[in-house]
A and B are shown apart, each in its own frame.
Chain A
Amino acid sequence: MIIVGMADSAVAKKPAKLTTLGLGSCVGISLYDKSTGVGGMVHIMLPSIENARAKDNIAKFADTGIPALLDEMTEKGAYKHRTTAKIAGGASMFSFNSNAQLNIGERNIAATKEALKQLKIPIVAEDTGQNYGRTIVLDTENGELTVKSALKGIKVY
């Protein structure tokens, strides 16, 4: 099992499994090309690199992390036009009464969808929003994405 940390990404070929743990407002994006068994996962924290002060880690942002993940997958043999996406996370765990954080979870989901649309990668499954954390596991053997939560059980997409 390959663990993808926060603001981190990884690519693997079957029969490997990729996982990222405890997604709250962050979004976990898993890409998969069934024809070659190449899968990738990125755990983004923010929608865009544009206004960020620290731009060193491109895996932190939806608009840079997702294209970079796809590039790495195609380098490892995946076909871009056969790659599909499954996404999870983007919850709103707490709502503090300050307006500083205009629902970051929703913004992360929107930016993720926009980045995938630009790359013409279809989203085939989505488990997003609400107010609870998620751990996801991508099985590169068959492309299944398992979404686990503390109290809401396990779902397989």
Chain B
Amino acid sequence: MHMLEVKDIHKSYGACEILKGISFNVDKAETKVIIGASGTGKSTLLKCINQLDPPDKGEVWLDGEELTNPSVDINRIRQKIGFVFQDFNLFNHLTALRNVSIGLEKVKKIDKEEARERALQELKRVGLEKQASQHPAQLSGGQKQRVGIARALAMDPDIILFDEPTSALDPELIGDVLDVMKVLAGKVAMLVVTHEMGFARNVADEIIFMEGGKIIESGTPNQMFQHPKMERTKEFLGKTSTLYGQE
């Protein structure tokens, strides 16, 4: 049994079918990267996993529990699935520290002092202990995203879903965020939707290439970059590596 099992997910908005049967697994502490052109349903897939946007058909299982079963207590299971957003979605009225501690306090019911202590540890982990008392509007984009990661980490999740975590950032700040994610790789499972091919190549255990609501091909970075089986994969990766100036 895998930690996260995604089985034949279908999702439509109106007449438009976004996901046309997606299946894959993620194991403990594994890093999987989903790549593909914009509009192929990558973000929708992440929202289908933690049931922010439940799929029309198919099943999602985490630690032997079926999330797609309507009778399951989804709020309890969401605590085990971290989510990091493209546009951060920090709570504007709370300091960086409270952004991280509020889930511990209000969801995990941890005592306020202890929650603060743990939140501070998480902020240290992403290199932001000095910014603990600042509000989101006082932070740079990269700092905001690291607070977003700390907020997800604080809940001690089994897996963190990253929805294009660096695409709203300038190149310098992207590095800060990716560095944090590299450190996490191998400690907590990560499912990352990104256009950062360098990250995919160096950090991923497996790369999943999606197009038109389907998985076209998946494999280790080496296999995907050196010997892609599908013509479309070759084309996509060829384009992006010219774009990012590799090789």
Partners in one complex: no
Which residues of B are at the interface with A, using a C-beta cutoff of 8 A? Answer: none
